[in-house]
Every structure is written in C-alpha cells, then in structure tokens.
Structure 1
C-alpha cells in the first residue's frame, strides 16, 4: 500500500476556502467557487526571521524590483515581488547516507491577485527552477507571476537532476507525490503571513513530469487545489520510460554501428525520412478537416486514412530520404503501435501518426533520451530494488537500454521489498485516476492538454484516460475536466503546430466564474514571435491562429473565411 503523508497540522494550518455557492456537489449541480480578491504584500525582508513553520528553514527573503528579473520570451515585465527561499524536511538517508531536503522558492508579487500557483517542474526534478509560473504552450507571453499569482517552485525533495536519489525510499516518495503534501500547507501559511490572508484560490500546473505531478494532485489533493492544469502528462511515467528503452531496441535493429560496434540510433530514421513521412501524412489527411492548410486537425480519422506501408514509398535501392526500407517500415509500425512483451501483452499505449513527427523534439526523445534520462530513471527510480551506482556505471546507458527485458525487468516497477515498501508504480501514478470525486464535488476543475506528436508520453494514453473518466462519470466528466489535444505539437511545445497558448487564464475563468472553455486560442510562433519556431512551414502565416478543441471535437473549417484565422474554424 502507498503511504499518504497526512501531517497532523495540515488541516489546522489552512483557513477555510471561500464559501461555495451552489448545491454542495450533487450530480445535478456542482458548486461554484468564488472569485479571488487581491491584496498587497505586507512584508518581505522580515519574513525569514518572523516565520516559524514545521520542519521548514527559510534561508532568505529579498525584494526584487520590477523588471529586475528577465525571462526569455516573456513580453510583459516581471512585476516587483519578494523572493523567498528555503528547505523542508532536512535529513540524512539511512539507506545511501546522502543528505536530502525539499528545496523551494516562492515569489510573492507586491500586487497580488489573491491566488497561489504551485509550479510543478519537469524531468527528474532536482532543481529549484525560477518560480515564474510558466504553465502552458511555447514561449508563454504572460507567466503566472506576471498575472499576479504567488508562485512556488521546488526540487521535489532532491538536490540534483540525476536519478541516484532513487536509492533512498523517502526521496522516491517525495518525487512521486509527498513533496507536494509537505509544500502545500507551508506555502499557504507563508502567503498568509506575507499578505495577511490565505490564498482565496489555489492552482497547480505543470507539463511533462510536471503534468504527471498535476494529475497526481488532482487525484490526491483535490481538497487543496481549485484548478489544475496538466500538460503532456506522463501520468504513467514508469511505463513510458521503459517504453523508451524498448524503442531503443527496435531502432538498434536497423541502425548502423559506430567504431565500438554500438548502434547509432539516429541512423535508424533520418530527419529527412521523418520529414518525408510527415509530408505523406499531410498529403493523405490535410483535407479531412475541410481545408488544405498543412495541418491535420482530424487526427482520429487520419489514423484510418494513412497507411505507412502503402502511402510511403518503399526503397528499392539505397536510402535517399524519399523512401523507407521494408525494415524501417516494420520498426516504425511496431513503435507507433506500442510495446508488447513476448506473450503479446500490450504494455503501454502507442502513438498517432501526425505531421509533427518531423519535429526535432520528437526525434530527440526517440534517439537521445533512452540512453540518458530514461536508462537512469528506470534503473534507480522505477525498479525495485534499484541498481547500484557501481553496476550502472560499469556499462553505458545505451547498453542498459538494449539489455532491458520487457518480460523480466518491466514488472519490477510493481515490485516491493522490505526497504522499498512502496512500488514505483504506486508512488508515481494517480492512485485512482478516474476517481476525481473530491475535486469534482468541491467545484474544482481540471484542464489537460497534450501534443499529438509527443515523442515520449502517449497522447493516445491520455485520450484513453479521458474516455475512461467520462465513463466513470456517466458521460458528464466535462463538467469538471476537459482535454485539449494540440495537433502537430511535440512534447509540451514545438513541432508543426500552433503551440503558443495560455490555458491558465481560461482555467481561472472556469473555476471562479463558471465559464467552461469550449476551445482555447493557439498561435503559431512565426517570424516576429518572442521565441520563433523555426520548424514551421514557410507557407504558414507567422500570425496563424487555431482553436484547440475540447476532446473529442476537432477544429473544422467553416467553408469560408481567412484560412490563417481561428475565426474561420469551429469545434465539431
């Protein structure tokens, strides 16, 4: 069983949230949460000395002038705020002897909008990244801090973005979910001291592993957060990471060898070949949404329309980027279908054929990540018992990936022993991912987005979760949870996509005003954007916009109007 952290002071430390308006969470009418009210920062320099919070050390609290913090790609100036840094639950591990703590920073704007935002970070965590509140889409124009949120960032309980913390059982649990349990009441208490009141509304947002954190928070901490935003969520991360190792094995079977007789994975499918397949997908599926514009909105119909075997030329001679060999087609067909073990059991969802597979980000996850991030994560965090450092370093990450067995090693994510009493699966994933009753019945909301051409976390898996959530809620889950697929987008951003969007503001409007978002406006990051997406086709207007639709609806051309404008499309 997974142990849930329940500090005795958790409930007592939090003031009641604003009164709910409505019928108390019945199936007929969900409560409507009230709008947050602003306040002004009362203190900054004295916070470090005046606060006395359980198991918490505030190491500094310093004022930051308006514009002093510069964020790449952000057009609005970062407002004046107070930067608070600290640590929680400092300890020495009895297992690996290393020192651990939950490091954090909170940025408290002088002009506060009354809201708290937990910024969940990605990857292996391990770094307290700047608490700007960058929450969705490529190069966001106005992060949460600019919008007036008090923003928290943490390292999730370990001080380096490396997988070796997986040797410590408690560090595993903190990474999985328990750091959130510790940080949430601390942050709310600190905010109360700084402004003279607790946050009226609390939000949680992140992408990738941050999206996993968000999905876990929706299931575990629906009583603490009013709005949750999960981007490209790796909510089945142990399965996705092992799938990465399996992908490496598939690609290795058609790769050339280097001077050490090791497979060069990038040789399996070249950028030109991925671009050629992307073009073939566009040629077959572009018009399915009513207009030829270089984008495939109707991804579901495209999967039936596009056939890798027949729509992509087969090489009769040397590979030149205009064809695929039969072996390449076999491997890609297998990878897009998803991994199986030797018994033919499906172990993780596959992915969709989408033009965004031409994106460099897609290829980097397929070829670069398995031998680096994924090998280490699986070896130390998603396997019980974990590898030893000596054993892992005795070989290479690539060799670890190539030697990984989906028959005998994959099941170790579900294993426990006397030291690691919680399995990797139990601490990493939402405990009951289609039971969001606590969040739902409070009037809280969940928005999820996922790039259709994600190279690591399956968008099919996320869509399947949404289907199951609908079933579990009698077909009415969209009253509190909505999924937005982003055609062409890679992992969190990039690809052949209109990938710049803000979902935080629509989430706030849904939570506090009852304005359920039927679509979200997305922009292309063309020439003139704060951060340009150089992969966009030259035929696209640099100011192209599209609606991102609530799944399973897709954006369809109305039949007239500017093809470059979202106004010419509707969600059907």
Structure 2
C-alpha cells in the first residue's frame, strides 16, 4: 500500500505500436512471430521500439492538445538538470499536467477528477511508461518513472521514456473519504488506468508523430496492485508489466493489518493517551531483534552461506519454531531476551494471518524472516491502526462507515470484527454496485492468457520481510498461475523474492535493483531474465539503507532468482553475486 505513508512503487507495461485497437499482426515493429517455424507452441516475439524526437516545441504541442473530457492545465518546457536521478541530470523534456472527467459527486457533493502529469523527453526512445503510485493515491507524483527497489540509480524518464503518473481520481484532501463516492472507488481500483492510457497514447502520437512502439507499466505496493490489475484488464495496452510487492488482495491485507494490531494489543504493557493499548509495547524493538537473531540461527545457512540473508525462505519455515527456538520468559519477566507464552501466542497469530472465529483464513500467513526492524514495526505497530483502518472503513467496506470514524481509527481497528465486518469487502448495496473485492482485484488473477498470447511479459518481485502484503500470498498466486499454464508460466511471467526486504525496500537486504532493463530485453529481444542482480545499500552507498548490517562487505550483491529457484552459495567471495547460483 505504499505512498509517502502507505507504500512504494515500481512496475512496467507495454502497448501496441499501431493505433488504437490494432492487434499485434498489424504492428510493423512486431518482429518475427515465433509461432511459425519449428516450435508451434512458442509465443509471439515483439519487436524493438524505435526512437523519435519531439516534433516542435512544448508551446507548439500545447496548441494541438485536445482530448474528450480533458483539460490540459500546464504545458511547459523543463530545462535539463531541473530534475535529477541518483545525482544525474535528467534531460530537457516537456511537462503536461491536466485532469479528466471532472464532476461533482451526487453522494458527497465533492468535486472529483482524474489528475495526471506527463513528461515527454525531447529525445524519445519510442516507449511509454505508466508510473503507478502507491497507498490510497490522491497525489500526482512527479512522473519520472520510478523503477523500483531502494535507492534507484536510474528512472524511465532518464532512459528516454514518455511517462505518466496520476492521482487515480481523487485528491489528497479527499483521502480517505473519497471512498464515500462510488465512482471515485472504481477510478481508484481500475478505471483511472483504463481512462488515462488511451489519452496518453494520443498525446504521445501528437508529440512524436506516432504512438509508442512499446508500453510498460510499473508500480510497487498499491502500484503493484495497479500493475496486477492492468495485466488482466489492460493486457491489450501493455507489453511489459512490473509489479512490486503487489497488494493485489489489498482489502484482505487491510483486514490482516487490523488483525495484527488486535493480537499485539493483547500483550501490550502500556496504554496510549486515548486509553487504548499501546501495541508497540506488545513486541518491542529489543524483542524483535532477538527473534530475528533466532530465525537467522535456524535458517541463515540453509542456502549454503551464513551471511545474514535467508534465501531459502520455504525451508526456513520448516526449520524455525517460534515456540521452541525462542526462549520463554521465566515468571513472565520481559527483558528483551525472551518472549512470554502470551506473546508467543499473539506473535504466532500475527504470522499465521487473520482468521475469523471459525478459523477460516481471511488473509495469507507471513513467512518468518530476519527483517523485523523499523520497517516491519512501522506497518504492524503504526499503520495498522492509523492508515489501514481508514482504507478499510471508507473504501473497502460497503456501505462505507460514517466520516466520524476518521477521528477514532485506532478504536475502529482494535474493535473490527473478523466475523461481522470482514465480509463487507465483498458486499454491494444501493449506489455501491461494485464490491471492493471486485474493483480492487484482478477479475481472474490466474487467467493472463490474453497478455501471454500477445507476447507480453509480467515480472513480479516481493520482499520476504514485507509486513503488510505477504510474500506467501504472492508465491501462492504464482503457484496457481503456474498450474493454470500447464505447470510452467515462466515463458511470460516470473516472480523474484527478495530476501530480508521489507515493503518495497529496506530491511537487511540487497534491495537496489533494476527490473525495467531486463524487462525490455525480455519483451523486445526475447532474453528472459534468469536472474537480476541486486545490491545492498551499505554505508558507502549514495543512498544508504540503515538496516544493512555493518558486518556485511561493501557493495554486496546477490542474484534475485526466478521462483521457485533459490540463490545458493557455490563458493567464493561471500559478498559477490557470482558466488551464488540459482537452483
């Protein structure tokens, strides 16, 4: 659910080179179709994008811009160096800002529109990039084309892409109460992407004299959810889609967050100023560090190297036992070196995932991993009672709660009924004709046949220490996708888990990586990414990650392996990716 406060972003997607609804056979740049020849089961091979140049000036483009129900409020030149990425100046480009479908809600009387921003480089690489933003959206983030991971060293705009970002149909001032308006819910869920995409392609055609040869879609957290939804709903428009730590079951994950808060409240030792349990005292920083050390003791070497990274996360779950491997406090005296029996029950429930009173799972379980630091705590012990309840109350519950709940979100979270309130994510009623489960999730998440048969590709990555969207949920999806594709989906969709990484970045991990460059090679050259190199942002990094242990060597790298393969140590420099093999 990333935003400045809820979650982060990174994923990419690709469109046809021909004008609106033309299929791949009409695309002059489609390249050789590998369905012909020896392998009749091979997928189409899309051709490479060809570059172009902005035709005229931004001012000249402004005079030509026109699209139904759209107001272009700003069209201006941005000089080289105005924006930078990793200290490098971004080249001169044209900034376009505007909004679509402005209206006054008949439900709450507020004015809504789909706000957007496009940035068009003078020297264009022939590609379009949809930058899906995180959290509850509501902000038009600078359209630089974030490409995921921590401390990125490049972005899509700097690489020559035409980039768009949007607020998904509501403003920051309307968060989270936009959920009172049924159309704003649908825009946030999927309609903003569907509405903006053809407009953006038309603007690009006016600017460069042709539509994009290739179109990519990228986002992390809720942006990853947008990406997963686009893979199903907008498969004809995007050829390469990158979904990071995807909250594609976001309504259930919000329930899971409140479940976690309720469990930690049971073992809290203090109260807050409003008289509610202080859930940060249910599992302190010292206790989290202690548990992480016990997990590492049991699991670190399972991949062949004792290096602070648990690559074989599946084997770890079979080897680690919270009950047996963590000391139990004597006489319930908590000193940071043990957990009480009640704490073990509560924390075990957090990792087991939300359930109702009948024991039915309401969200996925979470794997035990070493990333139990501040990033983990921020979600489980803060956002779980301040941010997620807002999404659940107003956007995911039908009918939405009264606005008065906004002033008592912690109480709402701690009293949320897993039996009576949780089912409301599937409800409809009155003006709310689509349930949150309908507008937030892919319509059929394991049927990506339309994307596949076009020759388009999907890359998903997920941190195994993500505390809000479970990597277990994503690996379960990938297993089901694999089953739906005859036991192997790797010719069009690949999943990469990131050991120790929290939500989209951070944690004791190698979290700096570029999924976009290998995605382009896969889509346009047929070179499937057998692994992606990730770097740990230690103290010597331009953007250090405080969670990287000082004991790790400078510039440590690791291969991110396509699931279910695991990075296993084969000998050599413990800090070099070349010392590991995916197997």
TM-score tier after normalising by the smaller chain length: over 0.9
Whether the 8 Å CA contact 2:310–2:370 is kept in 1: the answer is yes
After TM superposition, give the deviation of residue 283 of structure 1 in Å: 1.0
Q: Distance in 1 between matches of 2:164 and 2:464?
A: 29
Q: Tell whether 2:384 aligns with 1:370.
A: yes
Q: Tell whether 2:565 aligns with 1:553.
A: yes
- Paired residue for 1:544, among 533, 549, 556? 556
Deviates more, 1:25-34 or 1:423-432: 25-34
Q: Tell whether 2:507 aligns with 1:492.
A: no
Q: Deviations over 1:303-345 (max 9, x none)?
A: 1111111111111142111111111111111111111101111
2:403 alignment partner in structure 1: 389
Q: Distance in 2 between matches of 1:12 and 1:191?
A: 11
Whether the 8 Å CA contact 1:75–1:142 is kept in 2: the answer is no
- Paired residue for 2:42, among 24, 29, 33? 29
Whether the 8 Å CA contact 1:14–1:189 is kept in 2: the answer is no
After TM superposition, give the deviation of residue 78 of structure 1 in Å: 1.2
Structure 1: runs of 5 or more not aligned: 1-10
Q: Distance in 2 between matches of 1:245 and 1:563?
A: 40
Q: Tell whether 2:350 aligns with 1:338.
A: no
After TM superposition, give the deviation of residue 110 of structure 1 in Å: 1.0
Q: Could you say what the CA RMSD is over the residues aligned between the two structures, in angstroms?
A: 1.4
Q: Distance in 2 between matches of 1:20 and 1:384?
A: 48
Whether the 8 Å CA contact 1:48–1:59 is kept in 2: the answer is no
Whether the 8 Å CA contact 1:484–1:550 is kept in 2: the answer is yes
Q: Distance in 2 between matches of 1:160 and 1:174?
A: 15
After TM superposition, give the deviation of residue 444 of structure 1 in Å: 0.1
Deviates more, 1:403-412 or 1:12-21: 12-21
Deviates more, 1:481-490 or 1:19-28: 19-28
Whether the 8 Å CA contact 1:218–1:228 is kept in 2: the answer is yes
- Paired residue for 1:50, among 48, 60, 64? 64
Q: Tell whether 2:121 aligns with 1:106.
A: no
1:164-243 map, 5 Å: 164-243=177-256
Q: Tell whether 2:313 aligns with 1:302.
A: no
Task: Name the SS for the 2:330 alignment partner.
Answer: coil
Q: Tell whether 2:394 aligns with 1:380.
A: yes
After TM superposition, give the deviation of residue 21 of structure 1 in Å: 2.5
Q: Distance in 1 between matches of 2:74 and 2:483?
A: 48
1:511 alignment partner in structure 2: 523
- Paired residue for 1:325, among 325, 334, 340? 340
CA shift in 2, pair 1:259/1:165, >3 Å: closer
After TM superposition, give the deviation of residue 248 of structure 1 in Å: 1.0
Q: Distance in 2 between matches of 1:119 and 1:297?
A: 29
Q: Deviations over 1:121-180 (max 9, x none)?
A: 000000000111112110100011111111100000001161110011110000000001
Whether the 8 Å CA contact 2:105–2:181 is kept in 1: the answer is yes
Q: Distance in 2 between matches of 1:425 and 1:470?
A: 23
2:15 alignment partner in structure 1: none
Deviates more, 1:376-385 or 1:318-327: 318-327
Q: Deviations over 1:213-261 (max 9, x none)?
A: 0000001111100000000000000000011111111111111223543
CA shift in 2, pair 1:14/1:112, >3 Å: farther
After TM superposition, give the deviation of residue 476 of structure 1 in Å: 2.1
Task: Name the SS for the 1:257 alignment partner.
Answer: coil
Q: Distance in 2 between matches of 1:21 and 1:213?
A: 31
Q: Distance in 2 between matches of 1:111 and 1:542?
A: 36
Structure 2: runs of 5 or more not aligned: 1-17
Task: Name the SS for the 2:88 alignment partner.
Answer: coil
After TM superposition, give the deviation of residue 278 of structure 1 in Å: 0.7
Q: Tell whether 2:366 aligns with 1:351.
A: yes
Q: Distance in 1 between matches of 2:40 and 2:469?
A: 32
Q: Tell whether 2:301 aligns with 1:290.
A: no
TM-score (norm 1): 0.95
- Paired residue for 1:315, among 299, 315, 329? 329
Whether the 8 Å CA contact 1:24–1:442 is kept in 2: the answer is no
Whether the 8 Å CA contact 1:66–1:79 is kept in 2: the answer is yes
Deviates more, 1:222-231 or 1:62-71: 62-71
2:576 alignment partner in structure 1: 565
Whether the 8 Å CA contact 2:353–2:366 is kept in 1: the answer is yes
Q: Distance in 2 between matches of 1:271 and 1:382?
A: 32
Whether the 8 Å CA contact 1:14–1:188 is kept in 2: the answer is no
2:435 alignment partner in structure 1: 423
Task: Name the SS for the 1:355 alignment partner.
Answer: coil
TM-score (norm 2): 0.93
Task: Name the SS for the 2:523 alignment partner.
Answer: helix
After TM superposition, give the deviation of residue 554 of structure 1 in Å: 0.6
- Paired residue for 1:277, among 277, 280, 291? 291
- Aligned residue pairs total 556
Q: Distance in 1 between matches of 2:538 and 2:30?
A: 44
Task: Name the SS for the 1:381 alignment partner.
Answer: helix
After TM superposition, give the deviation of residue 49 of structure 1 in Å: 2.5
Q: Tell whether 2:160 aligns with 1:148.
A: yes
Whether the 8 Å CA contact 2:35–2:41 is kept in 1: the answer is no
Q: Tell whether 2:466 aligns with 1:451.
A: no
Whether the 8 Å CA contact 2:30–2:45 is kept in 1: the answer is no
Task: Name the SS for the 2:287 alignment partner.
Answer: helix
2:544 alignment partner in structure 1: 532
